[in-house]
Amino acid sequence: MPDRSPSPSAAAPVSKLWSRAILLVDMNAFFASVEQLERPELRDRPVAITNGEQGTCIITCSYEARHHGVHTGMRLKEAGQLCPDLIRIPARPQRYAAVSTTIMAALQETISPDMEIFSVDEAFLDITRCQKLLGHPADIAQRAKQIVFEVSGLRCSVGLSGDKTTAKYAAKLNKPDGLTVIPPEEARQTLADVPVTELCGINRGIGEFLAARGVHRCADMAGLPIGALAQRFGNPGRRIWYMARGADPDPVHVNVAPPKTIGHGKVVPPDTRDRGTLLTFLLHMSEKVGERLRRHHLQAQHFFIGLRCARGWLGTRAPTRLPTDDGGAIYQLSRQVLRDHWQGEGIHQVQITALDPRNGERQLQLFEAEPVQQRASNQVMDAVNQRYGEFTLAPARLLNRADMPNVISPAWKPFGHRQTISDN
């Protein structure tokens, strides 16, 4: 689809710098596009991505499928009725994460270091400081599109404005492969007739709160005092008030905060009452948490061990004797929690979370026996699994673990402790 925004030559003069310039890079049907790029037989055909071979819910789909009314979140059976030629492809989260990492690194290196990874297929870039070097913001946005194509072979849509909310709104106006420019001085007027619920971050609850006070479109926000939102929602409420006026004050968040927790959870077969099955799931999550702690040179001493039943969560916060990154030690806590808190209720989900991850390079306590053999064993296991795939080496009980594919966490980042493909 050709760009509908003004061409760079028709844009404002390069000498007229924007006081603030934010662009959002949004990949087009990202997972499906990766599959179509790497499998030529899928190009120009309706493709639906599902979570594994057994997945029945569509994660995303190609634009050819969308043309028939297929959309994200639709059940595969319903999608097949709309589009009989639909091709189901199991997701490959590791591959999508790798392509995303390449794209993000290229944008950060060639466009702007001031980048916020919003999701695996979206990134905000603050290009305010780049204008004297790279030119007018519209030229920079066009350059970003070209960089993405050069490093990945994929097309993206870009929205450009003076704040994050307006840039994100702009990016979805001309998809796929669009470039939409909303100059900062035009943002408020452009958003005036837009329903407030179309803005990123305004969920159903906030939308109902605003509707009850006569705010349906962004222009209606002028009749609502900012204090009404601040009193109900605090600082996020103040931000919402400015968002609707095309003046979102939220900066591009460059740094990823240190982890406050590190955890993994898994849905188990409905109403599971078999102790052996629960122990297998708990060992699976214990090893996942332990490996992730080791990978980022972290240890923890307090863990939440939880089992979800019909009436809520069973479990507790449990400590180890010393900070640990060993899945076996975490599993022993899990066995104890299962013994003390489970009375045979039907379980639907298990969760293990390290509550206080900290730098693992700590000084040993006096008379503390360093578990040299276990540490060496974990290092060998991690090296083998990194090379040949997750759980190539694993405790024997995990041979019976559930075959549920991993997914990309909504909080995924291409670098650091959030660079993790999780269980669902």
Cα gap 196→204, rounded to integer Å: 10
- How many contiguous H segments (helices) and E segments (strands) does the chain have? 14, 15
As a whole number of angstroms, the distance between CA 308 and CA 400 comes to 21
Three-state SS annotation for 400-412: HCCCCCEEECCCC
Q: What is the DSSP string of 3-66?
A: --SPPGGGSS-TTS--S--EEEEEESSHHHHHHHHH-GGGTTS-EEEESSTT--BEEEE-HHHH
Instruction: Specify the residue for token string 């479109």.
Output: 217
To 10 degrees, the CA torsion angle through 80, 81, 84, 88?
0
Give me the amino acid identity at 334.
S
Q: Which two tokens stand for residue 179?
A: 């470039």
Is 122 catalytic? The answer is yes
Euclidean distance between CA atoms 209 and 80, whole angstroms? 38
Report the C-alpha dihedral over residues 389, 390, 396, 400, rounded to 10 degrees: -110
Tokens of residue 350, six digits: 């298990």
Could you list the beta-strand ranges (E) of 142-236.
156-161, 179-181
CA distance 332 to 318: 11
Phi/psi of residue 279, nearest 5 degrees: -65, -35
How many angstroms separate the CA atoms of 232 and 205, rounded? 12
What sign for the dihedral angle of Cα 75, 79, 80, 81?
positive
Q: List residues bridging with 352 in a β-sheet.
A: 264, 305
Question: Which distant-in-sequence residues (6+ apart) come within 8 Å of 13 by Cβ?
Answer: 136
Burial of 25: CB neighbours in 10 Å, binned 0-12, 13-18, 19+: buried
Please tell me which residue in 122, 186, 291, 370 is annotated as part of the active site. 122
User: Are 50 and 91 spatial neighbours (Cβ–Cβ below 8 Å)?
Assistant: yes
Query: What residues are labeled active site?
Result: 122
